[in-house]
Amino acid sequence: MKKLFAILAVVAMVLGLSACSNEPAGPKTVKVGIAIYKFDDTFMTNYRTEMKAYFETKNTDDVKYEVEVTDGKNDQVTQTEQIDTFIAQDYDVLIINLVDLTAASAIIAKVKAADIPTVFINRQPSDADMASWDKITYVGAKAEDSGTFQGEIIVDLWKKADSKVDKNKDNKLQYVMLMGQAIHQDATLRTEYSIKAVTAAGIEVVKLFEERGEWDRVKGQEKMATAITQFGSQIEVVFANNDDMALGAIEALKAANMMDIPVVGVDATAPALDAIKNGTLVGTVLNDSTGQAHTSVDSAIKLLAGDALEKLQWVPYVKVTPENYTQFVK
């Protein structure tokens, strides 16, 4: 009797299995984990929103992308836990915007051990880190170029026939620099290359003030208020490593009745384009969140397919001024 039951059970199982395999397969689910350094960041918000939207366009009858996006809250320990969870839950591919670049080698060791292809974005791991596995790639923009474009925007203003940039007429540019987070290549290189472009045009510079606003609008405003307290009417121009800090600086200048001081940013966010329209921001540089989001998603899909990718993939920056800003308004 027992034997008969056992046989019946096996038969039932085989039938059950074959019944299953006769059903239409349905789309295969691909689990995508996206780790963002923090959600409270204007540029990265545009970026992550576009990645999600673009993944949706990639769904077909055969594949469905299930996308989970995490907020690292600007804390590497938190982000590493989120990545550990993605790994534990067998995610198929990851896109990572690291909080702290010095964590790159440890994170790459983890995804490599789990064999999960990974696209790094926005914060560039070192060449040695990138060389440590073939299923990783980096998508970004060449920070040097964004700095150079900022400098050129100011040089153009300085060279205009009716230019009022050199307020004290000493033939030198007295400047304030508002920098992004220390860990970020964009902060270092924009700071360096914006000034290089000015000196390359034969204009001498005097650095009055250089501090970190950490990419943040409120901090940018606070730092600018401090700069105004210390240097007041000596200030001739403000370079900000991104638009949020530039917009914060404009608030501080407004409060001090110093709206004639040119301010230049980077990113070309919607509020920055508005500020160009209103004449409060003299220029910015498009940091192409849409282009970078698409390249990141396409790269994730290619890595999943087993394609070999370039280690470093670049999306170009574009200079944005009152002459061409309307092209970038969405």
Say how many C-beta atoms besides its own lie within 10 A of residue 60's C-beta.
10
- What would the two tokens of residue 247 be? 């917009």
Helix, strand or coil for residue 252? helix
* Nearer to Ca ion (CB atom), residue 166 or residue 251: 166
Binding to ligand GAL by CB under 6 A, coded x per residue (else -) over 225-264, reads -----------------x----------------------
**170 makes contact with Ca ion (CB under 5 A):** yes
Q: How far apart are CA 40 and CA 142, in angstroms?
A: 23
* Nearer to ligand GAL (CB atom), residue 234 or residue 290: 290
Helix, strand or coil for residue 212? strand
Binding to ligand GAL by CB under 6 A, coded x per residue (else -) over 72-111, reads ----------------------------------------
**Binding partner of residue 168 among Ca ion, ligand GAL, none, CB under 5 to 8 Å per kind?**
Ca ion
- What would the two tokens of residue 253 be? 């200048």
Q: Name the minimum Å distance from CB 318 to ligand GAL.
A: 13
CB 155 within 8 A of CB 321: no
Strands (E), 51-142: 63-71, 93-96, 118-121, 136-140
Q: Name the minimum Å distance from CB 43 to ligand GAL.
A: 3
Q: Which residues of 89-128 are buried (b: 16+ CB within 10 A; e: fewer)?
A: eebbbbbbbbbbbebbeebbebbbebebbbbbbbbbbeee
Figure out which of the listed residues 266, 275, 297, 309 binds ligand GAL, where binding follows CB under 6 A.
Answer: 266
Binding to ligand GAL by CB under 6 A, coded x per residue (else -) over 176-205, reads --------x-x-------------------
CB 175 within 8 A of CB 135: no
- What would the two tokens of residue 263 be? 């301010």
Q: Name the minimum Å distance from CB 166 to ligand GAL.
A: 28
Q: Name the minimum Å distance from CB 311 to ligand GAL.
A: 19
Binding site for Ca ion (CB under 5 A): 166, 168, 170, 172
Binding site for ligand GAL (CB under 6 A): 37, 41, 43-44, 122-123, 184, 186, 215, 242, 266-267, 287
